[in-house]
Amino acid sequence: MSKNYLNVGCGSHFIISKGWTNLDFVSTSEHVIPHNLLQGIPFPDKSFDLVYHSHVLEHFSKDDGRKLIEECFRVLKPGGVIRIAIPNLEEIAKNYLKFLELSYQNKKNSLYQANYDWSLIEMFDQTVRNHTGGAMLAYLAQDKIENEEFVMSRIGLEGSELRAQLSDNKPKVQPAKPGFLQKVKRKVKKVLSFFFVFGRKELSEFERIGRFRLGGEIHQWMYDRFSIQRLLEDSKFTDVEIKDAFSSYNASWEEFGLDGIKPVVRKPDSIFVEAIKH
């Protein structure tokens, strides 16, 4: 009997065949069904043998995240498996504490401090940023990253691909300094800005930030092995177990390649967890 699998919040990372259905807020392909996941999962009860989502749950508020997990339970068949990959808050916190202490005890060691800086970015940036990419993108766009090995060990294949893309997009020739006329135009524009209505200008900025922060990029909650286990058990799942990128209750999981292709893990900063609907 053929199996039915659901990839929730798949983005551009999905499987076209092998019984997979791909679902996301915005479709990136004809093979991805667009749907507002805040309105639930648009399939009948007991439709799927496996429901998977990677780095999706943390983009929901704590309450909306619980509702998403309950929806996953609803659409799973009895005996079906939920598989979740999320940023591992515990590991991020351990790195922060480790490099905090090392930096404090070795104030001349710039590598420890770089690892400390990156750990803070992992912990906070995607919850507080007000523009796309935030401090993380700026860090990856540097010409030279002193702790590149550590950073890539944290963000994996996607990080190295992004860094390569940023490098390719940098201008090969430095742009000329602005001429006299350009400088004058900038000064005039700056002076004129004082004549705008202050409240209207501020409202525009508030609107921009609000639209961005409600646009899906922000992390609204974080999880560790205890909190994700409790959430799954509170949602009636059983047999909650921490896995790695290539192990699963589903014997075919590794061949799908969704969490990586051995030995490369797609998102090594993740905690991978599975549970069963009985």
Average pLDDT over residues 47-61: 98
Between 115 and 190, the higher pLDDT residue: 115
Mean pLDDT of the chain: 89
What is the SS3 assignment for 173? coil
Q: pLDDT band at residue 84, thresholds of 50, 70 and 90?
A: very high
Average pLDDT over residues 8-28: 93
Identity at 205, one-letter amino acid code: E
- Whether residue 277 is predicted with pLDDT greater than 60 in this model: the reply is yes
Answer yes or no: are the C-beta atoms of 222 and 61 closer than 8 Å.
Answer: no
- Whether residue 148 is predicted with pLDDT greater than 90 in this model: the reply is yes
Residue 164: per-residue pLDDT? 87
Between 233 and 204, the higher pLDDT residue: 233
Beta strands in the chain (DSSP E): 5-8, 20-24, 32-34, 48-54, 76-87, 238-243, 260-261, 264-265, 270-276
- Whether residue 6 is predicted with pLDDT greater than 80 in this model: the reply is yes
Q: pLDDT band at residue 231, thresholds of 50, 70 and 90?
A: very high
| Spatial distance between the Cα atoms of 59 and 64, rounded to a whole number of angstroms | 9
Residue 169: per-residue pLDDT? 67
The pLDDT > 90 percentage for the chain reads 80
- If residue 5 lies in a helix (H) or strand (E), which one and from where to where? strand 5-8
The pLDDT > 70 percentage for the chain reads 87
The CATH classification number of 5-88+224-276 equals 3.40.50.150
Two tokens at 167? 């490098």
Q: pLDDT band at residue 197, thresholds of 50, 70 and 90?
A: very low
CA 57 to chain centre: 9
Q: What is the pTM of this model?
A: 0.86
- Whether residue 40 is predicted with pLDDT greater than 90 in this model: the reply is yes
Q: pLDDT band at residue 171, thresholds of 50, 70 and 90?
A: low
- Whether residue 96 is predicted with pLDDT greater than 80 in this model: the reply is yes
- Whether residue 188 is predicted with pLDDT greater than 60 in this model: the reply is no
Q: Percent helix, strand, coil in the chain (nearest 5)? A: 45, 20, 35
Domain locations in the chain as residue ranges: 5-88+224-276, 90-213
CA of 74: how far to CAs of 4, 49, 125, 129, 171, in Å? 14, 11, 33, 34, 51
